[in-house]
Amino acid sequence: MRLGELLVGWKLASPAEIDEGLRRQAAVGGRLGENLLALRILTAEQLAAVINATPPIPSTVAETGILPRNLLNLLLKLMYIESLSTIPELAERMKLPHMIIKALLDDAIQQRYVQAMGTAPGDRAARSIRYALGDHGKVAAKDALEQNLYLGPAPVSLASYQEQIRRQRVSNETLDEATLRQGFSGLVVPDHYFEKLLPAINAGRTVLLFGPPGNGKTTLASRIADLFRDMIYIPYAVDVGGQIIKVHDPALHNPAISEDDTAVLATGPFLVDRERFDERWAGCRRPVAVAGGELTMDMLDLKHNPETRFYDAPLHIKALNGMFLIDDFGRQKFHPSELLNRWIVPMENQVDYLKLNSGTSFALPFDELVIFSTNLNPTDLMDQAFLRRIPYKIKLFSPTRDEYWEIFEAIANAYGLVLTEPVFDLVVDCLEKRFGLAYYQPKFICQQVVEACRSFGRPVVLTRKAALAALSNLYYDIEDERGAEPTAESEQPLAAE
Kindly list the averaged pLDDT for each block of 10 residues, start to end, along the chain of length 497.
Answer: 84 89 87 90 90 91 97 98 95 96 97 88 65 96 97 98 96 89 83 86 88 76 82 97 96 87 64 70 93 91 96 96 92 88 87 94 95 90 85 88 93 94 94 88 95 93 93 78 42 38
Q: Packing angle between helix 135-147 and helix 68-81, nearest 10 degrees? A: 110
For 372, the 3-state DSSP assignment is strand
Which stretches does DSSP call E strand in 17-166? 114-119, 129-133, 156-157
* Total-model pTM: 0.83
User: Right CATH number for 170-270+278-395 from 3.20.20.70, 3.40.50.300, 3.40.640.10, 3.10.105.10?
Assistant: 3.40.50.300
| CB-based contact 456:466 (threshold 8 Å) | no
3-state secondary structure of 364: strand
Domain 62-154, CATH number (from 1.10.10.10, 3.30.300.130, 3.10.180.10, 3.40.50.970):
1.10.10.10
> How is residue 261 annotated by DSSP?
H
Return phi, psi of residue 492, to 5°: -70, 145
CA-to-CA dists, residue 5 to 16, 226, 495, angstroms: 12, 21, 55
For the purposes of burial, counting CB atoms within 10 Å of the CB of 195, is it exposed (0-12), middle (13-18) or buried (19 or more)?
Answer: exposed
CA distance 495 to 491: 11
Residues 168/10, Cβ–Cβ less than 8 Å: no
CB 281 within 8 A of CB 55: yes
**pLDDT at residue number 228:** 86
Is the Cα torsion angle 397, 401, 406, 410 positive or negative in sign? positive
Q: What is the per-residue pLDDT for 382?
A: 87
CB 300 within 8 A of CB 314: yes
- What CA–CA distances, in Å, run from 80 to 5, 141, 213, 236? 32, 7, 56, 21
Contact 426, 467 (CB under 8 A): yes
Q: Let me know: does 389 contact 418? Beta carbons within 8 Å.
A: no
Residue closest to 174 by CA, chosen among 115, 227, 214: 227
Phi–psi pair at 50, nearest 5 degrees: -65, -45
Residue 483 makes CB contacts below 8 A (sequence gap 6+) with none
Q: Largest Cα–Cα distance of the chain, in whole Å?
A: 93
Q: Residue 117 in contact with residue 107, Cβ under 8 Å?
A: no
Cα torsion 378, 380, 383, 386: sign: negative
